[in-house]
Amino acid sequence: MTPSPHAEALGRARTAADFAAVIALLDSDLKTAAARKRELEKAKGRAMFGRGDLVAARIALSEANAVVALLEKTREAANERRAAAQSEDCVDIAALADEIRANAASLDERWRMAHWLVEQLRQQLFDADALRGAVATVNSQLDAAGVANLKINPTAVRRAAVTGPRATAPARLSAAAIQADRLLLSLLSPGGALDPRPPLGAPVGGIAGRYSLRGRGRLTMCTLALIGTALSVGGALVEGQQSRQMADYQARAYEQQAQADAQAAAFEQDQERHKQDLLLSQARARAGASGVALSGSPSEVHAANARQGQLDIKAIQYGSQLRQNNFATQAAISRFSGRQAAAASIFRAGGNLVSGLSGLYDPKKAVTFGNSAFPPAPGGGLY
């Protein structure tokens, strides 16, 4: 018996989508088989006219017809099973729709209950805060009357009231739900939002240290250390700024020297030009008085003297430019040194700050309160 095409995939199919995929494969195979059948029919026709083996062509065509028939039968069965799967999917979808509607209704009911409980909790907190204030007022009156033994500790009352079993959180809880659960638990836990004091039984040596001479001495030393660190940091910064200011002043002095040298060089050049003009005039006057024409050798002598005068002026300009460049370089170096000194003072101040702060904390000498090195501010919250 010839096995059904894609029988394994058809056996694994369960949903309408699975059957649709198998049907697509069957359609592709059926198209190929139909094309093969047409080719064999043409070959049979040629064999009937003596151009080929007629028996072989008939056998091949018969096999092709069998393949096409099997594919069509298999496709028809797959279509029937797909229709049945679609009906089942519709039933499943309807069941899922009923289930999600029921869950949504239950979710709405739970959120409404949560809203009601939160509002009730807020009202209870308001009432508790008012009662705490009333108890604190009576406690003050009892202190004034000298009967402190009649006072009531509202913190002890609240802690005893909220002590009890806690609901166990589910193993799989969303991040938002975990955060909300922690917030609610903080309202009942010692050290939480309503209880800024340490839990019962926690060490309270820090409180005694605050009001004892020993504790005051520690705080005084801490204050002195902080003042010393601040002075060290400030001194480093001031020193850096002073160094920068001095460097800027020196740079300005160099720039002023460069300007003065430029002015002096300009004056010296003017004097040199005046001197050259005077010498040239005297030479011409002597030549005219002696009756010598200003041509030939005398003219060449005057030209040579003029060229030498221009060289002397250029030499003055070159020397002045060198001195100006030197002063400008010194000014740039001075300003760079000032910036470096300022930057170094910042790093030095930071080092002094870190060193000073790291020397303040000593776990053996720190004022402790519960698990913190510094006690929280007294008062606040519901007691």
pTM greater than 0.85: no
pLDDT of residue 383: 40
Residue 370 lies inside a defined structural domain of this protein: no
Residue 379 forms part of a structural domain: no
Residues 261 and 319 in one domain: yes
- C-alpha of 20 from chain center: 49
**Do 83 and 197 belong together in one domain?**
no
Q: Is residue 83 located within the same domain as residue 188?
A: no
Q: Which domain holds residue 235?
A: 214-289+300-358
- Alpha-carbon separation of residue 322 from 254, 265, 305, 308, 326 (angstroms): 14, 11, 26, 21, 6
Q: Are both 129 and 265 inside the same structural domain?
A: no
Residue 382 lies in a domain: no
Give me the pLDDT at residue 372, please.
46
Q: What is the pLDDT of residue 207?
A: 44
Are 109 and 136 in a shared domain?
no
Q: Is the domain of 321 the same as that of 222? A: yes
Q: Are residues 333 and 239 in the same domain?
A: yes
Report the pLDDT value the prediction gives residue 208, as an integer from 0 to 100: 43
Query: Residue-wise pLDDT tens for the chain (383 aa)?
Result: 456 667 788 888 888 888 888 899 999 999 999 999 999 999 888 888 888 888 888 899 899 999 999 999 998 988 888 888 887 777 667 777 888 888 898 889 888 988 898 888 888 888 888 998 899 998 898 888 888 888 888 888 888 888 878 888 888 878 888 888 888 877 777 666 666 665 555 554 444 444 444 444 444 555 555 666 666 666 666 676 777 777 777 777 777 777 777 777 777 777 777 777 777 777 766 766 666 555 555 666 666 667 777 777 777 777 778 788 877 788 777 777 777 776 666 766 666 666 665 565 555 544 444 444 444 444 444 44
Per-residue pLDDT at 351 = 64
Co-location of 198 and 279 in the same domain:
no
Quote the CA–CA distance of 41 and 30 in Å, as a whole number.
16
- Give the Cα separation of 234 and 224 in Å (integer): 15
DSSP designation for 148? G
- The whole-number pLDDT of residue 219 equals 45
In terms of domains, do 159 and 275 share one?
no
Same domain, 143 and 48: no
SS3 of 159, please?
helix
Place of tokens 């899922």: 96
Residue 224 counted as domain residue: yes
Q: What would the DSSP string read from start to end of 135-156?
A: HHHHHHHHHHHT-GGG---HHH
**Residue position matching structure tokens 């009967």:** 147
What domain count does the chain have? 3
The pLDDT value given to residue 196: 61
Give me the pLDDT at residue 214, please: 46
Q: Which of 203, 238, 263 is the last residue of a domain?
A: 203
In this structure, is residue 257 part of a structural domain? yes
Q: Looking at the structure, tell me whether residues 347 and 249 fall in a common domain.
A: yes
pLDDT at residue 201, as a whole number: 57
Q: How far apart are CA 158 and CA 290, in angstroms?
A: 130
State whether 237 and 335 are in the same domain: yes
Helix (H) or strand (E) holding 299: helix 297-358
Return the residue matching tokens 């199919």.
13
